[in-house]
Amino acid sequence: MDQLDPKLARIVVLDDEEGNLRVLRRLLTIGGYQNVLVTSDPYRALHAFEEGDPDLLLLDLHMPVLDGFGVMDRLASLVSPDDFVPILVLSGDLSSESRKRALAGGAKDFVSKPFDRDEVLLRIRNLLDARMLHKRVQRQNQDLERTVRERTNELHKAHEETLVRLARAAEYRDDDTGEHTRRVGEIAGDLAVRLALPAQDADLIRRAAPLHDVGKIGIPDAILLKPGKLTPEEFDTIKTHTTIGGKILQGSRTPLLQLAETIALCHHERWDGRGYPAGLAGASIPLCARVTAVADVFDALTHERPYKRAWSVEEALEEIKKQRERQFDPDVVDAMLARF
């Protein structure tokens, strides 16, 4: 059965006169409404809104202890501003002042006491139709938002996968496992955390760092895979992978690719200013690049390449330690040493 059927609506009836409550209970039963709470206790009525999600409130205005206006005031904090829970006022006092005050408090319709039973049922039905329409729209909006979230998540995953594959495509040329890029990302992300960067920034570095060598796509195999020592001219060609990478990644509007562009361009800058391509020094080198530089060198040293053997972790850490304040940011070196 449709849960948005008005006959299944949760109705709360609040009146301080037992006779009125009996009449309204019987009237609602005749109308086919079974999910009804009838009470003379305003706090019990309010509790129903605290515990659940009633669809309609039939409310008397003048009651001892807490009158209808007080009930509406308290409901304002219990019902979301985006929700629509109609209030039907049934009162012997429907003066202009009372009506205005009730409308300001959230009332949607009025019936004078003594009331006509058919009129009350019609007004209840109209208000419940509006309530069910509101809930139906809410459900559709929730479904739409869920669909948008799912599609956005799918696009995000596809975007992430594309970047991973792009990084692997470049790295695969001199690392047939393609794992170097992943490891550099994980190490860089961990170093960023150890440097007390905000979690969001550290995660962004973790995801962007694998693209550090994307510019290798533009380096000839004869130079990139040369087992022996490079000539000065060949090394100059190798250096261009930073600017090639920057050009490949430039112009993006996404923070991830903007960061990846910076890393690709600057991860071979040195703390002492003797790096490339711009000869930046010290803190003028973007922190994301300083972090990636240490992660990159550590992983490259500890894994075999066509032109070198794999170093032990101890040997690699000792070399990184020697390059403290020379090639590397001392704080990043300290963060790397603290990992072991």
Q: How do residues 115-129 score in pLDDT, each as one tens digit? A: 889 999 999 999 999
Give 145's Cβ-side CA count (13 Å radius).
6
Is residue 257 a contact partner of residue 239, using CB atoms and an 8 Å limit? Answer: no
Q: Is the pLDDT of residue 319 over 80?
A: yes
Which range is most confident: 33-37, 51-55, 140-144, 190-194?
A: 190-194
Is residue 58 a contact partner of residue 88, using CB atoms and an 8 Å limit? Answer: yes
Q: State the average pLDDT over residues 265-271.
A: 97
Bond preceding residue 277 cis, omega within 30 of 0: yes
Tokens of 62: 């003048």
Q: What is the pLDDT of residue 174?
A: 61
Average model confidence (pLDDT) across the chain: 91
Q: Is the pLDDT of residue 40 over 80?
A: yes
Q: What is the pLDDT of residue 167?
A: 78
- Of the candidates 280, 236, 260, 247, the residue with the CA atom closest to the CA atom of residue 181: 260
* pTM (two decimals): 0.61
Where do the domains of the chain lie, and which CATH numbers do they carry? 6-145 (3.40.50.2300), 172-337 (1.10.3210.10)
| From 80-84, 140-144, 335-339, the region with the lowest mean pLDDT | 80-84
Alpha helices, DSSP H only, in the chain?
A: 18-30, 42-51, 68-75, 96-105, 117-171, 179-194, 199-208, 221-224, 232-249, 255-266, 287-301, 313-322, 330-337
Q: State the average pLDDT over residues 199-219.
A: 93
Percentage of residues of the chain with pLDDT beyond 90: 70
Q: Is the pLDDT of residue 89 over 80?
A: yes
Q: State the average pLDDT over residues 53-59.
A: 94
pLDDT tens digit string along 299-312?
A: 999 988 766 788 99
Which range is most confident: 1-10, 167-176, 270-279?
A: 270-279
pLDDT tens digit string along 17-32?
A: 999 999 999 999 999 9
Alpha helices, DSSP H only, in 106-178?
A: 117-171
Task: Tell me how far apart the alpha carbons of residues 173 and 185 are, in angstroms, rounded to a whole number.
Answer: 18
Q: Is the pLDDT of residue 338 over 60?
A: yes
Q: Is 84 or 160 the better-scoring residue by pLDDT?
A: 84
Beta bridge partners of 112: 91
Amino acid letter at 112?
A: S
Task: Tell me how far apart the alpha carbons of residues 85 and 74 are, in angstroms, rounded to a whole number.
Answer: 14
Q: Is the pLDDT of residue 276 over 50?
A: yes
Q: Is 255 or 156 the better-scoring residue by pLDDT?
A: 255
pLDDT tens digit string along 129-182?
A: 999 999 999 899 999 999 999 998 888 888 777 877 777 777 766 665 568 888
Task: Tell me how far apart the alpha carbons of residues 111 and 106 are, in angstroms, rounded to a whole number.
Answer: 15
Tokens of 16: 């301080």
Question: How would residue 16 be classed by pLDDT, with cut points 50, 70 and 90?
Answer: very high
Percentage of residues of the chain with pLDDT beyond 70: 96
Q: Is the pLDDT of residue 196 over 60?
A: yes
Task: Tell me how far apart the alpha carbons of residues 214 and 265 are, in angstroms, rounded to a whole number.
Answer: 10
Q: What is the pLDDT of residue 330?
A: 97
* Cβ neighbours of residue 89 closer than 8 Å, sequence gap 6 or more: 59, 60, 61, 68, 102, 107, 109, 110, 111
pLDDT tens digit string along 93-110?
A: 888 999 999 999 999 999
Q: State the average pLDDT over residues 265-276.
A: 97
Amino acid letter at 11?
A: I
Between strands 87-91 and 36-39, the pairing is unpaired
Question: How would residue 1 be classed by pLDDT, with cut points 50, 70 and 90?
Answer: very low
| From 62-66, 245-249, 281-285, the region with the lowest mean pLDDT | 62-66
Q: Is the pLDDT of residue 281 over 90?
A: yes
